[in-house]
Amino acid sequence: MAAMKILVQKFGGTSVATLERMQKVREKVEDGLGRADKVVAVLSARAGDTDNLLALAGQWSKNPDRAECDVLASTGEQVSVALFTMLLKDGGIKARSLLACQIPVVTDDSFGRARIRSIGSEALRAFLDRYDVLVVTGFQGCTEDGRVTTLGRGGSDTSAVALAAALGSVECEIYTDVDGVYTTDPNICSAARKMDRVAYSEMLEMASMGAKVLHIRSVEFAQKYNVPVRVRSTFNDDPGTLVTQEDSSMEALLVSGIAYDRDQARVTLHDVPDVPGVAAAVFGPLSEKGVLVDMIVQNTSLDGLTDITFTISRKDLKHTLEITAEVAAKTGAAEVVHDVNVAKVSAIGVGMRNHSGVAARAFAALTQEGINILMISTSEIKITILIQEKYVELAVRILHDTFGLDWDVA
Ligand code: ADP
Ligand code: ASP
Ligand code: MG
């Protein structure tokens, strides 16, 4: 007997926000059933629900318990799967909802940013023998001992790709409010172009540099388990963008995309003694508290003193300032200053591996527009520049044009 063909389709918050939109989603699932034997539909919470739930936590508690925040935030997805399954059943489709803990999707216990460890694929297959569509909560997980977790904001993409990997699904379709992956965010740059294909490596950099169209862990999973991911719109029939293995044609472009991230804060410790162990004293406690440090710069030392500057997510600022104040007091650093009006802009492309001068071109273009560069970091296939937040949209458009990505450039 031929193997059962399973398609995983994920629908984001805007796609499930209202009854009318969920009816469009139902059409996509019906279309999926025409192409595969079974569909696993992974749903996000309705747009705004997760934000509202987390805002409640902030009203109820000064320092909300992280585990309880996950119990709270995960309910948004429970609402969507129940409502959508009702719609499918009304349409005569054999469907049922599944919460992550009913499968289970087992994660570690890092509440708020849990990582998937395993998926009960046998149980899922058994459900698929009885139903044509399983409607699964994205974003949720549960620990070995049954505590509810969430995978981090935007994490439903990761749920979908992980389920696709576990089920050996042909393709994982990510349905959202744009037609696919663009050269940059089409909502801030009208010259952005949709890409037909993008390499996992590039998508990984774009996602980690702020292009929220895919959750970064979803791209890691897709690359690791070789799951082809197709990003497409719930609201039209465009084939979208295939995220897949790199091939030589992709290297023809020097830069293939521009990403930006406003969720940045910059912290500087001034006049820290330039002695061994200071960096460890700053970054050790930050990593213990789970604060992700992004860019780091240490100045050359003057009279045995130096400045250490780094960037973090704005939500970690309070914690970071507490920790750095302690370190400053211990090491005798002069002061700690911070700035939240910063953002980072990145140019990404596998073609950069074999070319020099990309960074210089980016700096020249930004300087010409009077945009001051605060920090720089580079990797093999990307350059990232920290600037004042008020210039972020301008910087994206300038870099998009500088590297020939505007749609009217052949
Ligand atoms: P969903 O709720 O469906 O998961 P998201 O809001 O998480 O949708 O992601 C889709 C959004 O990602 C788009 O509306 C767009 O503003 C943004 N985005 C950022 N960078 C890109 C890009 N390079 N290509 C497409 N969309 C992008
Ligand atoms: N509902 C979650 C969020 O808003 C997860 C997701 O949409 O992917 O972040
Ligand atoms: Mg998303």
| CATH number of residue 77's parent domain | 3.40.1160.10
Residue 275 CB coordination number (10 Å): 10
Domain check: are 185 and 263 in the same one? no
Domain annotation covers residue 410: no
Domain check: are 213 and 271 in the same one? no
Closest ligand to Cα 44: 2
- For 323-358, what is each residue's pLDDT tens digit? 999 989 988 889 999 999 999 999 999 888 888 888
- For 117-165, what is each residue's pLDDT tens digit? 999 999 999 999 999 999 999 999 999 999 999 999 999 999 999 999 9
Closest ligand to Cα 80: 2
| Predicted pLDDT at 410 | 47
Q: Ligand 1 atom 4: the closest Cα is on which residue?
A: 12
Q: Cα 131 vs. chain centroid, distance in angstroms? A: 31
Domain check: are 13 and 128 in the same one? yes
Q: How far is the CA of 216 from the centre of ligand 3 (A)?
A: 10
Residue 17 has pLDDT above 50, yes or no: yes
* Number of independent structural domains in the chain: 2
Q: 80: burial class by Cβ within 10 Å (0-12, 13-18, 19+)?
A: buried
What is the residue-averaged pLDDT of the chain? 94
pLDDT tier for residue 408 given thresholds of 50, 70 and 90: low
Domain check: are 47 and 155 in the same one? yes
Domain check: are 317 and 236 in the same one? no
Domain check: are 225 and 362 in the same one? no
Containing domain of residue 321, as a range? Answer: 258-402
Domain check: are 239 and 265 in the same one? no
Domain check: are 230 and 271 in the same one? no
Domain boundary among 192, 221, 245: 245
**Spatial distance between the Cα atoms of 310 and 269, rounded to a whole number of angstroms:** 9
**Spatial distance between the Cα atoms of 91 and 30, rounded to a whole number of angstroms:** 10
Domain check: are 269 and 366 in the same one? yes
Q: Ligand 1 atom 15: the closest Cα is on which residue?
A: 185
- What number is the average pLDDT over the span 83-94? 98
Domain check: are 274 and 222 in the same one? no
Atom of ligand 2 at shortest distance to CA of 45? Answer: 1
Residue 409 has pLDDT above 50, yes or no: no
Domain annotation covers residue 159: yes
- What number is the average pLDDT over the span 179-186? 97
Atom of ligand 1 at shortest distance to CA of 257? Answer: 23
Q: Judge if the beta carbon of residue 74 lies within 6 A of ligand 2.
A: no
Angle at 176 between CA 173 and CA 178, to 5 degrees: 115
Domain check: are 95 and 168 in the same one? yes
CATH of the domain at 282: 3.30.2130.10
Q: pTM for the full model?
A: 0.93
Percent of the chain residues topping a pLDDT of 90: 84
